[in-house]
Structure 1
Amino acid sequence: MAELLAKSPCDRLLPLSIGDARLSEVDMTVLTSLAPYNGKEEGLSDALKAAHGMELPAVNRATGKEGARAIWFGRGHTLLVGPAPDASLAEHAALTDQSDAWSIVRLEGDDAEDVLARLVPVDLRQAQFKRGHTSRTQLQHMTISITRVSDTAFLIIAFRSMAKTLVHDLETAMKGVAARRAG
């Protein structure tokens, strides 16, 4: 009988450290899509706060902290990252396990903004895109979610099937920024 092994989306691709940027894979975690039923947004926010210590995020925002985050994921959708959803959330929203569908990487370091400026058509400079801000956008040709999690770090979520391309594109940009800095 074949023995199947669970592998992370970026298995053997990460971590990378180039110049003043580091790219690492976020450990495989529970990802749950929360889609509130009509008129149940406030109840979902209250249930999320009671069960997981964070409110439902506003548009283009994320709530929570490392290990337990709620990320705005598009109109009428929030992605709960980290904890398994409490059963009380099901009274207010459709819950869908997305754990195997996405890859999550963390880009951090003093060069992170410059690396992303080469790839993402959104102004991610800290003056415009502060901690807790999130956007559904493109990284090259891939649809992603990007969230600023600290002054110099971003959480990037892309389709699992695009993990190798995601790492390749980020690595290429990291090398370009490092080469430019080296002069």
Structure 2
Amino acid sequence: MADLISKSPCDGLLPVTVGGMKLIEEHPGQMWSIAPFKGQQKALDEALQAAHGMGLPTANLATGKAGNRALWFGRDMVMLIGPEPDRRLADHAALTDQSDAWAVVKLEGERGEDVLARLVPVDLRPQVFKRGHTLRTELKHMMASITRIGAQSFQIMVFRSMARTLVHDLKTAMEAVAARG
């Protein structure tokens, strides 16, 4: 019988440092999609607040903090990152474990917006896309979730199967930005 070895999505690909910018893999813990049942948004918000200390995020926002964060993930969809969801949330929403489905990386550095400007069709400048803002968008040719988690840092998530492509595209953009000085 073969011995199976668990590997992270970006195993052997990261970290990468280019021109003062860093790209590292994050291991956020559990990830659960939460889809509220019809008419249950308010009750779900209250249950999430009681169980995890954060409310249900509205469109393009995140609530909570590292290790216990909820991201708006599209219409009637939230991604809970960090803790296992309290069982009472299932009274108000469909819960699905997504823990192994996503590659999660952090891009850090003062030119991170310039890197992402080469890859995404949205304005991520800090005056527009503030800390705690999140969105689902195309990153080059794949769908991604991007959240500003600090003044000069972004959390980027893509499907696990796209991890190698994500790292390649980000590294290429980092090199191009660094080359411009």
Runs of 4+ aligned residues of structure 1 deviating over 3 Å after TM superposition are none
TM-score normalised by length of structure 1: 0.97
Aligned length: 181
| Cα distance per residue 1:50-99 (max 9 Å; x no partner) | 11111100001110101111000010000001101111111110000011
Matches of 2:123 and 2:101, distance apart in 1: 27
Matches of 2:20 and 2:4, distance apart in 1: 37
The 8 Å contact of residues 8 and 28 in structure 1, kept in 2 or not, is answered as no
Question: What pairs with 1:26-175 in structure 2 (closer than 5 Å)?
Answer: 26-27=26-27, 29-175=29-175
Matches of 1:165 and 1:44, distance apart in 2: 36
CA displacement at 1:5 relative to structure 2? 1.1
CA displacement at 1:113 relative to structure 2? 0.7
The 8 Å contact of residues 48 and 54 in structure 2, kept in 1 or not, is answered as yes
CA displacement at 1:20 relative to structure 2? 2.1
TM-score normalised by length of structure 2: 0.98
Kindly indicate whether residue 16 of structure 2 is the aligned counterpart of residue 16 of structure 1: yes
The 8 Å contact of residues 33 and 96 in structure 1, kept in 2 or not, is answered as yes
The 8 Å contact of residues 28 and 81 in structure 2, kept in 1 or not, is answered as no
* Structure 2: gaps spanning 5 or more residues: none
Taking every aligned residue pair, what percent have the same amino acid on both sides?
61
The 8 Å contact of residues 33 and 80 in structure 2, kept in 1 or not, is answered as yes
The 8 Å contact of residues 56 and 63 in structure 1, kept in 2 or not, is answered as yes
| Cα distance per residue 1:20-53 (max 9 Å; x no partner) | 2110001152110000001111111111111111
The 8 Å contact of residues 19 and 111 in structure 1, kept in 2 or not, is answered as no
